């Protein structure tokens, strides 16, 4: 880390009441984090931890890059990068395919997939999707699986629904323009729709298909050889999460938008709703995190997720959740 950047981060932390005591720049472990997708404000905890010197305080010099989830898993497994932040379903698929990876911080305590529809559509349950047009981003995506499972549990055949594939960048607009009756996508997009005056109904996929959004992964070899670095990464991330939870949403969004996701400027109000109504109460936190700390993994929920993915042949074989998920408290740094 350049000295000027390091000092700026430390000063920012001091001004905000966060007082990290850091190792010298020469002693920092250089690590790379690959994040799923592109820079968005929803990754604010990672940006906060970086900009406020929390990674440095915990012995790490962090570089952030972006990639697709499948690529992240391969790079982490091969040791090309030390940490990844992909979707939980992709991690399960990678592990099922033999990739030596571990989840070391279950950052998102639940999945954020959801079926969204206008309240004027008359849709309230999956049974109401009979004869309707429903969009997913691809037939190999987690949202298509969520649609299949939801319909099956409601006793509705897939052929009773008109399924359309619409690209990620256009799927929300398709619902807004009434080109489809419902979309299976991210619950966070309801805030965009509501900001445009659209009244939205929602069925959370996590209610019938326990899953996980973004989680921290590392390679099995790296975890064995560098437990202190993994512990430090988790500690920095959890400290940033707790800081945001404790009333610093506005400042976190400012950091995320000004430093990393400038194209979101002007959308602070809807982002604040997403943080205060979704991320803080139920995505980052759960009854388990209240007991065991942020990032703790619910092994029973992970196991159910794995078993359902195997049942629907999304992965070729199931496996034991504790072969994949490590509790942050169990990592000895």
Top pLDDT among 15 and 237 is at 237
> Strands of 113-118's sheet, edge to edge?
162-165, 133-136, 182-186, 113-118, 200-204
Residues sharing a CB contact under 8 Å with residue 181, sequence separation 6 or more, in sequence order: 117, 121, 123, 129, 132, 133, 134
Long-range contact list for 8-14, CB < 8 A, 24+ apart? 9/50, 9/51, 9/52, 9/53, 9/56, 10/53, 10/56, 12/51, 12/52, 12/53, 13/52, 13/53, 13/54
- For the chain, give every domain's residue range: 3-110+212-330, 113-207
CA angle (213 as vertex; 211, 214 as ends), nearest 5: 140
Report residue 169's pLDDT band, with 50, 70 and 90 as the boundaries: confident
**Residue-wise pLDDT tens digits, 89-100:** 999 999 999 999
pLDDT at residue 167 greater than cutoff 50: yes
Please state which CATH class domain 3-110+212-330 belongs to: alpha beta
pLDDT per position as a tens digit, 3-48: 333 323 433 443 444 444 545 555 899 999 999 989 999 999 999 9
Superfamily of domain 113-207 in CATH is Periplasmic binding protein-like II (3.40.190.10)
Let me know the angle formed at the C-alpha of 217 by 279 and 51, rounded to the nearest 5 degrees.
60
Single out the residue of 33, 19, 24, 18 nearest to residue 1, CA to CA.
24
* Same fold across 3-110+212-330 and 113-207: yes
Q: Is the pLDDT of residue 249 over 90?
A: yes
Whole-number pLDDT of residue 25: 54
What pLDDT does 168 receive?
A: 86
Cα distance from N-terminal residue to C-terminal residue, the chain: 22
pLDDT digits 0-9 by tens, 176-226: 999 999 999 999 999 989 989 999 999 999 999 989 999 999 999 999 999
């Amino acid at each position: 880390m350049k000295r000027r950047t390091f000092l700026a981060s430390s000063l920012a932390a001091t001004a905000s009441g966060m007082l990290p005591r850091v190792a010298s720049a020469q002693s920092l472990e250089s690590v790379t984090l690959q994040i799923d997708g592109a820079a968005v404000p929803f990754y604010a905890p990672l940006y906060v931890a970086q900009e406020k010197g929390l990674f440095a305080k915990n012995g790490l010099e962090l570089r952030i890059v972006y990639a697709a989830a499948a690529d992240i898993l391969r790079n982490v497994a091969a040791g090309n990068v030390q940490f990844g932040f992909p979707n939980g379903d992709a991690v399960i698929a990678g592990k099922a395919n033999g990739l030596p990876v571990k989840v070391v911080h279950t950052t998102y305590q639940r999945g954020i997939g959801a079926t969204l529809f206008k309240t004027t559509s008359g849709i309230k349950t999956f049974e109401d999707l009979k004869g309707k047009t429903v969009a997913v981003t691809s037939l190999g995506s987690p949202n298509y699986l969520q649609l299949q499972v939801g319909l099956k549990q409601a006793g509705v055949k897939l052929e009773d629904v008109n399924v359309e594939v619409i690209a990620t960048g256009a799927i929300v607009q398709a619902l807004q323009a009434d080109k489809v009756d419902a979309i299976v996508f991210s619950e966070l997009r309801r805030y965009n729709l509501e900001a445009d005056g659209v009244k939205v109904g929602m069925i959370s996929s996590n209610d019938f298909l326990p899953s996980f959004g973004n989680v921290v992964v590392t390679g099995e070899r790296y975890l064995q050889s560098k437990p202190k670095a993994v512990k430090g990464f988790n500690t920095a991330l959890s400290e940033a999460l707790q800081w945001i939870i404790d009333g610093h949403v506005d400042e976190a969004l400012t950091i995320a938008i000004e430093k990393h996701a400038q194209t979101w400027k002007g959308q602070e109000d809807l982002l604040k709703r997403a943080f205060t109504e979704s991320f803080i109460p139920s995505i980052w936190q759960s009854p388990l995190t209240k007991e065991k700390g942020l990032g703790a993994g619910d092994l029973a929920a992970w196991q159910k997720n794995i078993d359902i993915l195997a049942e629907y042949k999304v992965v070729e074989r199931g496996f034991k959740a504790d072969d994949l998920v490590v509790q942050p408290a169990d990592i000895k740094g």
